């Protein structure tokens, strides 16, 4: 365990407004609101706004369930609770595409100005200005890259690997599974562990895994010679 000292930086965290703490909503709804608020702040930075200028979030049920360590059924119940309370609005984007989620604030809630100067990190920030230290590696950027692809109607990808930080489409996963049935899971986990421990990221996880598999599957050059031991009658070996 780590004791807090005068120069101890905070770990990544999500914001939870005081009005939600004091509300009568379920604990799952409160936590989900904080998670959505965290993503809304990231959307503000990334310029994810509707035609009306309202900031929205693209967040799948599975990703919310993973983020809260809850079941998808629990997340759906919490989403309905927040929507019935007027705290979120979900807008459908068509078949097989994640909804746009707009987060709302209650009327009369006290608002504060954006933090300046000595601020401490939330999960959406990459560094801690108050300590000048790097935060632990996060795959938030990679998540949003894949969410952007989904929003634009491009290939949707799911999480794989020991640390759930490898993104593959269903077709990519199926190809690896069929081409390398005995090795594909090992290489997915290898990439997952490497990115988690090194802090490195790859633009295309499928291409990286396939490259590793192809390279390691090639026969290694060696001093092998083909000798012909056949001979015709009357010849000596």
Sorting pLDDT into bands at 50, 70 and 90, what band is 96?
Answer: low
What average pLDDT does the segment 26-54 reach?
90
SS (H, E, C) 43-68: HHHHCCECCCCCECEECCHHHHHHHH
Sorting pLDDT into bands at 50, 70 and 90, what band is 47?
Answer: confident
Residue range 108-164, pLDDT digits in tens: 888 876 554 444 445 544 433 333 333 333 345 555 555 555 555 455 677 888 888
Q: What is the pLDDT of residue 227?
A: 46
Residues 22, 26, 30, 36, CA torsion sign: negative
Q: What is the pLDDT of residue 138?
A: 39
Sorting pLDDT into bands at 50, 70 and 90, what band is 85?
Answer: very high
Least confident of 67-76, 159-168, 218-227: 218-227
Q: What is the pLDDT of residue 113?
A: 60
If we measure between CA atoms, which residue out of 101, 81, 91, 86 comes closest to residue 36? 101
What average pLDDT does the segment 186-214 reach?
88
138's tokens: 């996060």
Query: Which pTM was predicted?
Result: 0.53
Relative to beta strand 158-160, strand 166-168 is: antiparallel
* Contacts by 150-155, CB closer than 8 A, 24 or more apart: 150/58, 150/60, 150/97, 150/98, 151/58, 151/93, 151/97, 151/98, 153/97
């Amino acid at each position: 365990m780590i004791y807090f000292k005068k120069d101890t930086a905070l770990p990544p965290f999500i914001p939870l407004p005081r009005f939600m703490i004091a509300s009568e909503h379920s604990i799952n709804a409160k936590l989900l609101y904080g998670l959505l608020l965290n993503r809304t702040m990231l959307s503000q930075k990334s310029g994810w706004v509707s035609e009306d200028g309202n900031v929205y979030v693209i967040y799948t049920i599975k990703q919310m369930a993973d983020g809260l360590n809850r079941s998808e059924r629990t997340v759906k119940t919490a989403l309905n609770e927040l929507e019935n309370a007027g705290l979120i609005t979900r807008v459908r984007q068509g078949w097989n595409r994640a909804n746009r989620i707009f987060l709302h604030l209650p009327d009369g809630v006290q608002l504060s100005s954006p933090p300046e100067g000595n601020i401490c990190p939330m999960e959406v920030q990459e560094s801690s200005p108050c300590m000048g230290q790097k935060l632990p590696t996060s795959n938030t950027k990679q998540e949003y890259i894949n969410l952007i692809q989904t929003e634009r109607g491009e290939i949707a990808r799911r999480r794989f690997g020991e640390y759930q930080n490898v993104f593959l489409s269903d077709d990519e996963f199926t190809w690896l599974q069929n081409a390398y049935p005995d090795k594909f899971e090992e290489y997915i986990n290898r990439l997952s562990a490497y990115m988690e421990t090194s802090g490195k990221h790859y633009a295309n996880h499928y291409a990286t895994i396939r490259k590793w598999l192809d390279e390691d599957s090639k026969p290694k050059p060696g001093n092998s010679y083909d000798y012909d031991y056949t001979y015709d009658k009357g010849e000596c070996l």
